[in-house]
Structure 1
Amino acid sequence: MSPATDTAERRATRPRADALRNRERIVAAAREMFVEFGPEVPLDEIARRAGVGNATLYRNFADRAALVHEVVLAVLGGTAERAEEAAAGEPDPFVALSRFTHAAADERIGALCPMLAGGVDFDKDHPDLLAERDRLEGVVQGLVDRAHAAGRLRADVAVGDLLVALSQLTRPLPGFACLDIDRYTHRHLQLFLDGIEAPARSELPGTAATLEDLRRGP
């Protein structure tokens, strides 16, 4: 094979920049709409928000399961990156935990719960998703452990409590058309963070939620 032929074939198989941008726009639009309306939002509505045609959406994602997979992967990966940045960039363990919490909201971590809870038929045990989940959980557990060790996080709060609060506080209430959800999300997350900072101002009912508790479910 000549060098010219090899170069031409590589150009033919490499996605064009505009095609990659379209794919990213679809995933970003789906991530936002899954938070706002749930994972069953019509795909043509996602295409409309992304500014692409239905054909472009289906050229990138054959069905809803493929799109959901990509959104979950993007949210897990992006949130893990924010956790790693917080851990590396903040010497105060509780400041690092707080920085991650707000960044996780911006990554739309609230989109994960309805999709992982069984509402959409896709491979939740795909190796790519499990790898990103383990990466995220490991870094967040490290943030929580550091804050505990420094006496900056109340002892009766565990990583599961943090993740449950993130899931609950980063999604609009059902039937509530909130046009500025980020304003309220970050406000309420800060109230939550103020409540889990040590020293504790009250005694919490029940026991701290661990990652194992979350995986077992109710």
Structure 2
Amino acid sequence: MGTTTAQQQSAAQQPARPRLRADALRNRERIVAAAREVLVEHGAEVSLDEIARRAGVGNATLYRHFADRRELVHHVTVSVMERIADQAEAALAEEPDAFSALRRFVHAAADERVGALCPLLSDGWIDKEHSDHIAARTRLEDAIGALMAAGRDSGQLRADIDVGDLMVALTQLTRPLPGGACVNFHLFVHRHLQLFLDGLAAPARSALPGSAATLEDLKRRP
């Protein structure tokens, strides 16, 4: 289900929301956090009633903040990107070396449920040209790029990978498997991420097939 030009213009022209009271802001943050969890588990078609229940608010409260499902999904994806960018910037600024920063970021991004983004981006729920989305995406790309550049410059990160490789692995390893057979999937995510990180360390133990994947590569349609 794509987004029309009219919908894009309408979203871009929406007036800024008034500043929220502290209690209203907390409710809004709880709704976005709950939606992030539920969207990962069940996809974008999940009942808004379930999101409200998970957030601990009434349906009326949810609709006071978000007019419809598309607006809620928009805010969830922007929130995920902003929070992951926060994690990348903080790791690079605070960790003693570049690979420790990368390791910290990867595990923190997993906790932010980065796997929520890919299905939403690919299924037409997101207006990718909305100014909020462009700003959050650009900041995220820059933050991860800086983190990986520091790793390469220090000689700790193998040179034959790029941001796209990292994001593919992160999204794949943090998305629950379909169906209910692997109910304890979340218990193994960080373990598998650590195995992946070991494979990123220099010197590389093998030659990778193909070429390093950039974010531009991931955006191209076949």
Cα offset for 1:15?
3.0
CA contact (8 A) 2:176 2:186 kept: no
1:114-133 alignment, distance < 5 Å: 114-120=119-125, 122-133=126-137
TM-score (norm 1): 0.89
**How many Å separate the matches in 1 of 2:46 and 2:208?**
37
CA contact (8 A) 1:39 1:119 kept: no
Query: Is the alpha carbon distance of 1:176 and 1:208 closer, same or farther for their aligned partners in structure 2, counting shifts above 3 Å?
Result: farther
Amino acid at match of 1:114: P
- 2:7 matched to which residue of 1? none
- 1:173 matched to which residue of 2? 177
Matched residue SS, 2:20: coil
Amino acid at match of 2:38: M
Matched residue SS, 1:154: coil
**How many Å separate the matches in 2 of 1:118 and 1:82?**
26
**How many Å separate the matches in 2 of 1:185 and 1:89?**
24
Matched residue SS, 2:123: helix
Cα offset for 1:178?
4.3
| Counterpart among 59, 62, 73 of residue 57 in structure 1 | 62
Amino acid at match of 1:38: G
**How many Å separate the matches in 1 of 2:150 and 2:106?**
15
1:1-218 alignment, distance < 5 Å: 15-120=20-125, 122-176=126-180, 178-218=182-222
**How many Å separate the matches in 2 of 1:16 and 1:151?**
48
Task: Report the aligned-residue RMSD.
Answer: 1.5
**How many Å separate the matches in 2 of 1:127 and 1:178?**
38
Give structure 2 stretches of 5+ with no counterpart: 1-17
Cα offset for 1:148?
1.0
**How many Å separate the matches in 2 of 1:14 and 1:97?**
35
Cα offset for 1:179?
4.2
Amino acid at match of 1:143: L
Amino acid at match of 1:32: E
Amino acid at match of 1:59: R
**How many Å separate the matches in 1 of 2:84 and 2:181?**
25
Identical aligned residues as a percent = 66
Amino acid at match of 1:16: R
Aligned residues: 205
